[in-house]
Amino acid sequence: MSSQPASAPSWRTPLVIILFAGLILSFNMGIRQTFGLFIAPMNEATGISVSSFSLAIAVQNLLWGIVTPFASAFADRHGTGRVLVGGSLLYGLGLLVMVLLPSASGVHLGAGLLVGLGVGACGFPMVLGAVARLTPESYRAAALGFASAGGSAGQFVLLPLTGAMIGGLGWQTALLVLMGLSFLIVPLAAALAGKAAHVDGPGPSSIKAALAEALEQRSYRLLTLGFFVCGFHVAFVATHLPGYILTCNLALGVGSTALGLIGFFNIIGGLLAGVLGGRYPKKYLLSSIYLARSIVIALFILGPKTDVTVWLFSSVFGLLWLSTVPLTSGLVGSIFGARYMATLFGIVMLGHQIGAALGSWLGGLSFDYLGGYEPVWWVSVALGLFAAALHLPIREAPLTRQAQPQEG
């Protein structure tokens, strides 16, 4: 099955598509990564425990993963724009609930349920699936890398900004500003509106057939399992790095700066991954990223904890942060084509979010019941080594198909 870019209005040039996609991911992922900054002030103001807040984030990550395949399938069938608009509205409502109900139930309803549904409906699979079908295959890997980097840019800008707002204006005002930013996804969604056009030829003619075909492939199953590890890493670090830094007797500002540095260097990492993914085997790049994560985490845990070492860790880890996304999504597109990429990457994203739910929740449990975060850091090291090995057997070649009757 060929995969030509879908037709689009004249104003939706590839540059506009990539820019708007990057901005959507910037607001989506940037806001999402700030939740770790709210744990300490909300604990002090409302008495919400670290483990309770962590459970809400775990629910958020799990719902994010569960809703993503369904939202992706809806986008493939009915169009991406309306899914992004719905996700934006749910996202903003969740942040508002956290302000109006400053309690454990409010955090679970707002940050857990509503934000989980919202971020799942306007996340990577929808956005990158639209980019894949709207850009030529010749530079699709680079386009995915540039769009993915938008999520990192949002993290770089919004984390320090949110930390400053919490310190100067209070956590409620910070949440209201983030709510306003989440609603900006609504107008940006116009650039990615539309659905994949039907293309005659070999290959699945329905979402159900595409899923059945993908799940039969060992490479797809390995990719999904490997992305579980990515989710565990990023959710644990994003949620608990600020708290871990406080346990090292460093200032709260060190934590917000650390997360901002992760976002800044992930811009570079995401762009490099997109460019390198078009030149070298993506599976080897992914294995290298996971191996490097394990090494960097081990060195960080064993080394001294100062402002400089925290920022050095954050900078290096940032290069490895979401650089997995353009490579993983690119592998899905390379193997199966762009037509049902949103749906197929949505299933892979479910694996990511199961890992994210476990990583964020275990961090809170470790702190409350074991007195620190070190056990989960070492679990992260072991999982990185596991993921590095998982990607090596993946076959990157496009799936060979024979012509088959079209389903109704």
Dist. CA 121–CA 80, nearest whole Å: 9
Q: Helices (H), strands (E): how many in the chain?
A: 18, 0
Return the C-alpha torsion angle 224, 227, 232, 237, nearest 10.
-160
* Whole-angstrom distance, CA of residue 188 vs CA of residue 175: 21
Find all residues with CB under 8 Å of 160, minimum gap 6, and list them: 256, 257, 260
Q: What is the pLDDT of residue 282?
A: 93
Q: What is d(CA 212, CA 206) in angstroms, rounded to the nearest whole number?
A: 10
For 249, left (φ over 0), alpha (ψ -120 to 50), or beta?
left
Q: How far apart are CA 280 and CA 273, in angstroms?
A: 10
Distance CA 176, CA 163 (A): 14
- The conformation of residue 108, written as its DSSP 8-state character, comes to I
Q: Strands, DSSP E only, in 233-321?
A: none
Q: 68 to each of 3, 84, 196, how far by Cα in Å?
A: 22, 12, 17
pLDDT of the residue at 4: 43
As a whole number of Å, the CA-based R_g of the chain is 20
pLDDT tens, residue order, the chain (408 aa)? 344 444 556 777 888 888 899 999 999 988 988 888 888 888 888 888 878 888 888 888 888 888 888 888 888 777 888 899 999 999 999 999 999 988 888 899 998 999 999 998 988 888 887 887 787 777 777 787 788 777 778 877 887 888 889 988 999 999 999 999 999 999 999 888 876 554 444 556 677 888 888 888 999 999 999 999 999 999 899 888 988 998 888 887 787 788 778 878 988 888 888 888 888 899 999 999 999 999 999 999 999 999 999 999 999 999 998 889 889 988 988 888 777 777 888 889 888 988 988 998 898 889 888 888 999 999 999 999 999 999 999 998 888 765 554 444
- The answer to whether 255 and 245 have CB atoms below 8 angstroms apart is yes
| pTM (two decimals) | 0.75
Torsion angles phi and psi, residue 195, rounded to 5: -135, 165
CA proximity to 397, closest of 277, 199, 202, 219: 219
What amino acid occupies position 309?
T
Return the structure tokens found at 191. 């650039």
Measured distance CA(127)–CA(134) in Å, rounded: 11
Give the start-to-end residue ranges of the domains of the chain.
14-193+205-390
Which architecture, in CATH terms, is 14-193+205-390?
Answer: Up-down Bundle (1.20)
